[in-house]
Structure 1
């Protein structure tokens, strides 16, 4: 299976313009012309997949302590918007199900990053896989499941094999090719700082597409695209003319 990647992917929605990992962020990303967004999924204390990046509450909301210590009702009571700008006060932490529904309505394709807290890797991947199978059987050509945790990708490979997988790596350490191939990955998602033209060629020669994160400098984005990177994950709104 293949899919149509856009050249740019909105990072956690459109993180330079709206609170990250929120439904409003997705709406503003769509308004800015993005056709793809990336977001992070982890579990509440009562095993509900929600959108959140950090293991600890507080940076992007008015909570405190581990995300996994809070049930969904506690997470939903938090303000996830005022930290960014008072105009976003009252924004809530969305569930994965709400994010899927929102992206479907906006016709946004999704890079779903499984972002497990320590010790909950297996359960997070299992529940994400179950929800993808249940809610998105018609969207297999519009979703990539990615993770830094090989066990999460292994579970997705087993439990949700119809969905493409992306191998996330901060430094592309030795053995990345064998691991990504063993996990049946469609794409490799490196930190842009570790990329050069030779590595881009090597990744493509190994049979993978390349989505690189997180690039907010236009000159760097142009260089990466010139080397052949397939998609650049960015916080920034971009001119609609270059979003094809």
Structure 2
């Protein structure tokens, strides 16, 4: 069973930063999960929340009070220079891809559309970022990386890559969606990873990975049920 470092070094701990990914690497992780969103000018950047303030805050303390009122997708890529995550810059998808490739890390790229209108645009931007790479690096990503999303339209431009559908609880028509996108895996919240749901997925030959698991005993139980991957905030799980 593979462990994936959730947002790098975990939620709230330099999450979705190159420094956070370095912490995960130095903690022995071979795989990392991160979130990608589009800026107002269409640049894929690594960030989780739809609004500023929790993950990334204004560098200028006088502006910090307005952070919760500022949507990520209202900012241009150059505007993000005025924000930091505990002193670390918000990285671009291109920078993060290079970090992972240089350090031999597998990646789960979670596409986070901010509204239905930009879901497909986000998928296209991620695809472009990958296809701008040299052929050998593209091949490595195609063979080793996973692209996942709650917003399944975001994955349409990425058909042909290794795709996973994200759910909190397994819905009735999940298999239709998975078949349509040729998804190889389902990613479930731990609360939805009960034996019946896992059996339903496994009977279709798909892998199951579970988020976000921070308890060692829970991890052992899920492994015994055939779960193939866990996303965790704990660097010592």
TM-score using structure 2 length: 0.89
Corresponding pairs, count = 222
Specify the SS of the correspondent of 2:120: helix
Give the CA deviation at 1:72. Answer: 1.0
What is the aligned partner in structure 2 of residue 58 from structure 1? 53
The DSSP-based 3-state class of the residue aligned with 1:137 is helix
Q: How far apart are residue 16 of structure 1 and its match?
A: 5.5
Is the CA contact (8 Å cut-off) linking 2:12 and 2:55 kept in structure 1?
no
Which structure 1 residue ranges, 4+ long, deviate > 3 Å from structure 2? none
Residue matched to 1:84: none
Deviation at 1:131, TM superposition (A): 1.1
- 1:137 corresponds to which residue? 138
Q: TM-score, normalised by structure 1?
A: 0.87
Taking the aligned partners of 1:126 and 1:17, their CA distance within structure 2 comes to 29
Unaligned runs of 5+ in 2: 59-66
Tell me what 1:7 maps to: 2
CA RMSD of aligned residues (A): 1.4
Shift of 1:127: 0.5
Does the CA-based 8 Å contact 2:120-2:155 persist in structure 1?
no
Alignment of 1:29 onto 2:2: no
Q: How does 1:72-151 map to 2 (within 5 A)?
A: 72-81=77-86, 89=87, 91-118=88-115, 119-135=117-133, 136-139=137-140, 140-151=142-153
3-state secondary structure, aligned to 1:141:
helix
Higher helix share: 2
CA contact (8 A) 1:17 1:237 kept: no
Q: Measure the CA separation in 2 of the matches of 1:208 and 1:230.
A: 10
CA–CA distance in structure 2, aligned partners of residues 95 and 76 of structure 1 = 11
Are 1:113 and 1:146, in contact at CA under 8 Å, matched by a contact in 2?
Answer: yes
Q: What 5-or-longer segments of structure 1 have no aligned partner?
A: 1-5, 82-88, 240-244
- Which residue does 1:217 correspond to in 2? 215
Q: Distance in 1 between matches of 2:205 and 2:187?
A: 13
